[in-house]
Structure 1
Amino acid sequence: MTVGFSPQKHKECVSSSQSKDMEPEQIREGYLVKKGTLLNTWKVMWVILSEDGIEFYKKKTDQSPKGMIPAKGATLTSPCQDYSKRTLVFKITTEKKQDHFFQASHVEEREAWVKDLKRVLSCLQAGKRFARKSTRKSIRLPETVNLSQLYALMKDQEEGIKELKLEQDNKVYNHCFTGVTVVDWLISKDKARNRAEALMLATGLLNEGFLQPAGDASKEGAHSTERSVLLDQMEALYYFADSGFFCEGYSSDEDVLVKEEFRGNIIKQGCLLKQGHRIKNWKVRKFILRDDPAYLHYYDPTKEEDEPLGSIHLRSCVVTAVDFVPDAKKYDIEGDLFEIITSDETQYFLQAATGEERKDWIKAIQSVSKTGK
């Protein structure tokens, strides 16, 4: 998801005695899925991270938060594997030992929230506050390795790991690769001196959610111990968290046609508000934009299932920013709206979190609609 930022993003700590103008109130804001404190239910919330805690709202337009999590004395756990079927979860434990679970929609989003949360906690611990100075700190394992940058190199189309279609146990795994391939690549690119060191790095990538297990062997390795382990085996299959991965069995031509929608590379993903077609209410949905074929699939971000609620075929569609949507006002929806009209003249109304995010989505959809089949 492209998250709505305050202008003062990417900051470090400075002494609290410095200028009051250098103390931003809000660090980051956007949609996250949150587990209920009392009930085991997961709901989309509008979340705001400030320099002293997290506030979460039922709707972006609400004036009063449903709750506030103080950051002072809190600890952060990421990745959090308390819910094995839910990936991309991080946990905040307050000073009073109360756990709060949040789930992001994709790896980059979780990375961004975790990075800013770490800075908030470290600043509070040191008795300092945020400033506008930029930083390049990120998750490191070991200390000299930046996993975010390593993941980007692995996904590079020219020099990275090649995504393949592999068959195993009467199933076809698309956009994946073997554990051996990961270890070999790390050694060949001088990221590790030997297989043991490469395996440690690969396991770090798996634990942080950059790599995901695809087949039975890799899933067994990931869940058989308290800490996930990437297997240096040809039988162990993995995929990039933000790839176009999908698995299919040997099936009929009709099933293959349905799966064709998911073959494209993921261009953009994140949460948007969507207006319903029959009942004109608005709900937060997770959207995944693929390029070839050109499809925009949308999901219920609170569910564990990977099946989309619907899909929008974008070939030759028209997408434009709009200032007004019928029936939007009574649902307290305004600003950052855009419309998609498909080639069969079906209308979809969506709302982004910020004006900049709306521009990014429109630009990405326009590009895909022209090039994707």
Structure 2
Amino acid sequence: MEPKQIKEGYLVKKGTVLNSWNAVWVVLSEDGVEFYKKKTDNTPKGMIPLKGAVLTCPCQDYNKRTFVFKINTVKNQDHYFQASHLEERESWVKDIKRAISCLLGGKKFARKSTRRSIRLPDTVNLSDLYVQMRDQEDGIKELKLEKEKRVYNHCFTGGCVVDWLISKDKARNRPEALMLATGLLNEGFLQPAGDVSKNAVEGGAESAVLDEANAFYYFADSGFFCEGYSSDEDGVLKEEFRGNITKQGCLLKQGHRRKNWKVRKFILRDDPAYIHYYDPSKGDDYLLGSIHLRGSVITAVEFVPDAKRYDVDGNLFEIITSDETHYFLQAATADERKDWIKAIQLVSKTGK
């Protein structure tokens, strides 16, 4: 019998021969991970057997890249993958770990029950803690912080993290709170912003999170924007990046000139209403373009002019901006297309 397919989608993978990182289509089955250059390809570029493999997450081998995990095979080959956002990484890691565990025990793959188990008093669930910290009403408040002519949007200080953990009885004292905060940062839930916090992480300090007012941090899936203050003269954050992130992930986008399709990471922000797209292999510092969505029309389409037939695998939709610019995008599945259209339509109507 053919192995059961468990999961598929776009991830960025480090080359096994060259050190380049490229977006690939990844398919997880019960016994391995296959990756393809394009979703429409019939033959994979490679296959990673999972029997006896070890998964490492978070992976700190490439500290300038976030949301990376590593699969080490029984032949001691390392394969590095990078997700586009935290929730996506957690989903892949959970299913791959489960597949490895099932192979080890000689069982058929089955996801564990989602029923919450009773948490022991001395056991900390960092994922649950992160959700509580992100709570709009009772969590840590995201602020606009300024330092040395630079603007940090959707940020908070290390001291704020410590204060919140103690006030919510998550830690008994400040050293214990710093240990929890460091765990959140090591797992990728928190990210450093600015030289002070980044130097602490790279310096290998006992506590990677600093209990200081000038050490800035941000939630991994927040609206933090890490450009716009790249030089001392540019201290003003662009208005279009001030909105909260409402959706993010990878889609295929058709180029305006060459009409070829490439994988792009999209980040949708609500107010102002913008969707920005990036080269996923280079991260969020490599902005390729932005689309102002106010007054745009977003519809599903079945045909794209000038598209090569073998590059199109269905699930197409189009964004027509108020200035009559057309953008053609391709989702991986019909449900994903539906979700993106719904999210973009809502932002286009409510955002300024």
TM-score by length of 1: 0.88
Cα shift at 1:143? 7.2
* Amino acid aligned to 1:131: A
Equivalent residue, structure 2, for 1:9 = none
- 1:110-259 alignment to 2 at 5 Å? 110-131=89-110, 134-135=113-114, 144-225=123-204, 229-246=208-225, 248-249=228-229, 251=233, 256=236, 259=238
Equivalent residue, structure 2, for 1:10 = none
Question: Given the alignment of the two structures, is residue 328 of structure 1 paired with residue 307 of structure 2, yes or no?
Answer: yes
For the structure 1 residues 137 and 303, does the alpha-carbon distance in structure 2 shift closer, same or farther, using more than 3 Å as the test? farther
Segments of 5+ residues of structure 2 without an aligned counterpart are: none
Comparing 266-275 with 184-193, greater Cα deviation is found at 184-193
For the structure 1 residues 43 and 175, does the alpha-carbon distance in structure 2 shift closer, same or farther, using more than 3 Å as the test? same
Equivalent residue, structure 2, for 1:16 = none
For the structure 1 residues 82 and 151, does the alpha-carbon distance in structure 2 shift closer, same or farther, using more than 3 Å as the test? same
For the structure 1 residues 264 and 142, does the alpha-carbon distance in structure 2 shift closer, same or farther, using more than 3 Å as the test? farther
State the identity %. Answer: 76
After the TM superposition, list the runs of 4 or more consecutive aligned residues in structure 1 that deviate by more than 6 angstroms.
Answer: 140-143
Cα shift at 1:54? 0.3
Comparing 223-232 with 354-363, greater Cα deviation is found at 223-232
* Equivalences, count: 348
* Amino acid aligned to 1:294: A
Within the candidate set 357, 360, 366, 2:336 is matched to 357
Report the Cα distance in structure 1 between the residues aligned to 2:26 and 2:120, rounded to whole angstroms: 28
Equivalent residue, structure 2, for 1:25 = 4
Q: Deviations over 1:62-101 (max 9, x none)?
A: 1111100000111011111111111111000000100000
Q: Deviations over 1:295-334 (max 9, x none)?
A: 0100000114613100000001000111111233434303
Equivalent residue, structure 2, for 1:56 = 35
For the structure 1 residues 228 and 302, does the alpha-carbon distance in structure 2 shift closer, same or farther, using more than 3 Å as the test? farther
For the structure 1 residues 91 and 120, does the alpha-carbon distance in structure 2 shift closer, same or farther, using more than 3 Å as the test? same
TM-score by length of 2: 0.93
Q: Deviations over 1:95-124 (max 9, x none)?
A: 010000000000000011111111111111
Within the candidate set 234, 244, 247, 1:268 is matched to 247
Q: Would you say the 8 A contact 1:69–1:94 is kept in 2?
A: yes
* Amino acid aligned to 1:73: G
Equivalent residue, structure 1, for 2:263 = 284
Comparing 341-350 with 191-200, greater Cα deviation is found at 191-200
For the structure 1 residues 246 and 317, does the alpha-carbon distance in structure 2 shift closer, same or farther, using more than 3 Å as the test? same
Equivalent residue, structure 2, for 1:44 = 23
* Amino acid aligned to 2:178: L
Q: Would you say the 8 A contact 1:288–1:298 is kept in 2?
A: yes
Segments of 5+ residues of structure 1 without an aligned counterpart are: 1-19
Cα shift at 1:338? 0.4
The two structures, once aligned, show a CA RMSD in angstroms of: 2.3
Cα shift at 1:134? 2.9
